[in-house]
């Protein structure tokens, strides 16, 4: 029998350094590849409207992630709610160069808009096929949430269903994902496993207006909010 407070004292203590430089696995390599392939095509859009209503409703201007569709035409796809009622639109590229933009197309019913800039060496993204998406497929979201430029989050397709926007407009076959989407992701791309654009981030279903962890006590608190 040994006393309860007995502690073994080894004659020699060996210290082993943590292993380093382990190769990335295939999934990590793909995450990095998707990010590097597309990050230069994600831009910021600053919208200035009459008064402060736009800024108060959708958060600080210039903190949203939008993406370049055409190299030569200079077309950039974003959400309609980002540029709604805007009197002046400015685009900041990944190299921090700023350009004045012109609104050339809108589709309020699907919360989509296209702005155009004149800038050299634009890097467009590749459109993927979203018609055959399956629940459970892996997806990525790139944007600028909370003022953090160029963040990547990952998740899966949780559902493909009809959703109603805060203004009452209905989007058919919207892609629902559990990838973290927060204020500042508006207009940013939703990508498939190959880094191709399959959707545009437009709203959050949350009790707190973001993808932060939060336990609901009252189901009536659950609401949708454009990001």
pLDDT tens-place string over residues 107-139: 998 889 999 999 998 999 999 999 999 999 999
Q: So what's the pLDDT on residue 124?
A: 92
Among the listed residues 111, 158, 159, 218, the single catalytic one is: 111
Among the listed residues 41, 47, 66, 81, the single catalytic one is: 81
Residue 186 falls in the annotated catalytic set: yes
Among the listed residues 186, 194, 211, 218, the single catalytic one is: 186
> Using one digit for the tens of pLDDT, what is the confidence trace for 62-101?
445 577 776 778 999 999 988 988 889 999 998 889 999 9
Q: Give the phi and the psi of residue 95 in degrees, each rounded to 5.
A: -85, 10
Residue 8 falls in the annotated catalytic set: no
- Terminal CA-CA length for the chain: 66
Residue 25 falls in the annotated catalytic set: no
Q: 178, exposed or middle or buried, with CB in 10 Å at 0-12, 13-18, 19+? A: middle
- CA dihedral of 29, 193, 208, 184, whole degrees rounded to 10: 80
pTM of the model: 0.74
């Amino acid at each position: 029998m040994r006393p309860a407070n007995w502690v073994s004292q080894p004659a020699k203590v060996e210290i082993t350094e943590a292993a380093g430089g382990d190769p990335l696995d295939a999934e990590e390599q793909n995450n990095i590849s998707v990010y590097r392939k597309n990050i230069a095509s994600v831009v910021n859009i600053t919208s200035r409207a009459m008064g402060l209503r736009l800024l108060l409703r959708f958060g600080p201007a210039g903190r949203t992630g939008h993406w370049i569709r055409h190299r030569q035409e200079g077309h950039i796809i974003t959400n309609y709610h980002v540029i709604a009622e805007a009197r002046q639109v400015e685009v900041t590229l990944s190299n921090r160069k700023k350009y004045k933009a012109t609104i050339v197309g809108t589709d309020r019913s699907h919360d989509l808009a296209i702005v155009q800039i004149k800038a050299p060496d634009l890097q467009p993204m590749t459109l993927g096929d979203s018609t055959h998406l399956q629940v459970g497929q892996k997806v990525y979201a790139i944007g600028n949430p909370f003022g953090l430029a160029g963040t990547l989050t990952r998740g899966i397709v949780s559902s493909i269903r009809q959703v109603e926007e805060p203004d009452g407009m209905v989007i058919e076959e919207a892609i629902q994902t559990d990838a973290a989407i927060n204020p500042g992701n508006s207009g940013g791309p939703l990508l498939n496993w190959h880094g191709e654009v399959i959707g545009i981030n437009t709203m959050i279903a949350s009790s707190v207006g973001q993808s932060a962890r939060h336990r609901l006590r009252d189901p009536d608190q659950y609401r949708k909010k454009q990001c």
